[in-house]
Homo-oligomer: A and B are copies of this chain.
């Protein structure tokens, strides 16, 4: 359970950022954002004035929100007539997260609060969340340890001839029994992920909508990501890339399995991924610039003659090598071209150098790390090597 102190610190950080931008208050209405600040993920709207006490207005379930909420003023959502009186008239400029709020919601609040100016606080909201507290780092370590336990069991059920889908089902079954909450929250407008990917051989290399190196073929054009019904053959790389979600905190990791032996070309690409990870982790320190980390990794891929295979199918390569994780799978920072921000201690990042070799398969590594003065702290502490069965 989130603590009162955590909630207070988060709200103070938001209020500081609001004041620095001359914003008079924020309406937090996206569910996971409400949870982050209040400790309850019910259907509710949080009003955070730039100064003073926040107010949580609950639609459903009120009784549950009252039990969980760390906000002193937690009340039923008022009628549209009563709502405006709860937002002080002095609050002329109000922040909303334009990245996730549908136009209908925006218009609804605009109608209830005429004469106010709404401004986008998406970036501020994401930046606050990117840096984890000591309490959150403990949650992330716990999530990492529990996800590793499931990966450790994989040799018990990976069998030649089973479909990617069967491997996914067996993995997901154990993941759920280990307590993973399953629903993967993503913030980007057009992204979807069902827990993770169990994909193999050339099928794994199918390009897709997913903003990552690997999408998988999936089961139909309607759900074109993750495991397919293809059978897993000996001698081909089986890429298992899954999230584990515990108390809302997501970690993300990938390991490669093979029944029998792997093609030397794939092994060499895998070793390059490990070398890239090693260099990135050594530099995962406060002050390192996101973009530079990515460019350095891309240079290593190029040095190994694998530029066109790096982070995607040739011609559809993603230009990133790592993404923030926490309550959402796509948090800040992003180790990608165009991201000039320096890392900060306490950020948690999934690093995932991967290579797509058309016709052969996909290999690579992924671990979730925390940024520390001494470099990346590995939160998914399991050996990185290819597991041969």
Task: Give residues in A with beta carbon < 8 Å to B.
Answer: 1-2, 29-31, 35, 39-43, 60-64, 68, 96, 98-107, 120, 122, 165-166, 168-170, 172-174, 176-177, 179, 181-183, 185, 189-190, 192-195, 206-209, 211, 215, 218-224, 226, 229, 245-249, 313, 315-316, 327
Interface centre among A103, A173, A194, A315 (most CB of B within 10 A): A103
- Is there an interface contact between B229 and A248, defined as CB atoms closer than 8 Å? no
Known: A169-B177, A179-B165, A223-B41. A189 touches B102 (CB 8 A): yes
- Is there an interface contact between B208 and A42, defined as CB atoms closer than 8 Å? yes
Q: Residues of B contacting A192 with CB < 8 Å?
A: 31, 183, 185
CB distance from A319 to the nearest CB of B (A): 12
- Is there an interface contact between A1 and B221, defined as CB atoms closer than 8 Å? yes
Q: How far is the CA of A170 from the CA of B315 in the complex (A)?
A: 40
Look across to chain B and name the residue whose beta carbon is closest to the beta carbon of A218: B181
- Is there an interface contact between A176 and B172, defined as CB atoms closer than 8 Å? yes
- Is there an interface contact between A101 and B98, defined as CB atoms closer than 8 Å? no
- Is there an interface contact between B173 and A61, defined as CB atoms closer than 8 Å? no
Give chain A's interface secondary structure class: loop
Look across to chain B and name the residue whose beta carbon is closest to the beta carbon of A215: B61
Q: Residues of B contacting A215 with CB < 8 Å?
A: 61
Which of the residues B170, B220, B246 comes within 8 Å of A181, measured between beta carbons? B220
A-B contact pairs, 7 of them (CB 8 A): A63-B207, A68-B224, A98-B104, A104-B120, A172-B173, A181-B222, A221-B248
Q: Residues of B contacting A248 with CB < 8 Å?
A: 220-223
Known: A165-B179, A219-B181. A64 touches B102 (CB 8 A): no
Q: How far is the CA of A62 from the CA of B317 in the complex (A)?
A: 12
CB distance from A299 to the nearest CB of B (A): 24
Q: Residues of B contacting A63 with CB < 8 Å?
A: 207, 313, 315-316
Q: Residues of B contacting A316 with CB < 8 Å?
A: 60-63
Known: A31-B209, A172-B172. A2 touches B194 (CB 8 A): no
Q: Residues of B contacting A181 with CB < 8 Å?
A: 194, 218-220, 222-223
CB distance from A188 to the nearest CB of B (A): 10
CB distance from A294 to the nearest CB of B (A): 18
Known: A120-B104, A173-B170, A208-B64. A245 touches B221 (CB 8 A): no
Q: Residues of B contacting A1 with CB < 8 Å?
A: 220-221
Q: How far is the CA of A44 from the CA of B102 in the complex (A)?
A: 18
Which of the residues B104, B182, B206, B327 comes within 8 Å of A99, measured between beta carbons? B104
Q: How far is the CA of A53 from the CA of B102 in the complex (A)?
A: 28
Q: How far is the CA of A132 from the CA of B313 in the complex (A)?
A: 36
CB distance from A146 to the nearest CB of B (A): 12
Known: A170-B173, A208-B61. A99 touches B99 (CB 8 A): no
- Is there an interface contact between A222 and B327, defined as CB atoms closer than 8 Å? yes
Q: How far is the CA of A195 from the CA of B176 in the complex (A)?
A: 12
CB distance from A6 to the nearest CB of B (A): 12
Q: Residues of B contacting A229 with CB < 8 Å?
A: 179
Q: How far is the CA of A204 from the CA of B246 in the complex (A)?
A: 21
Known: A208-B42, A211-B60, A316-B62. A221 touches B101 (CB 8 A): no
Q: How far is the CA of A165 from the CA of B101 in the complex (A)?
A: 32
Q: How far is the CA of A122 from the CA of B40 in the complex (A)?
A: 29
- Is there an interface contact between A223 and B209, defined as CB atoms closer than 8 Å? no
- Is there an interface contact between A182 and B165, defined as CB atoms closer than 8 Å? no
- Is there an interface contact between A68 and B173, defined as CB atoms closer than 8 Å? no
- Is there an interface contact between B98 and A42, defined as CB atoms closer than 8 Å? no
CB distance from A256 to the nearest CB of B (A): 22
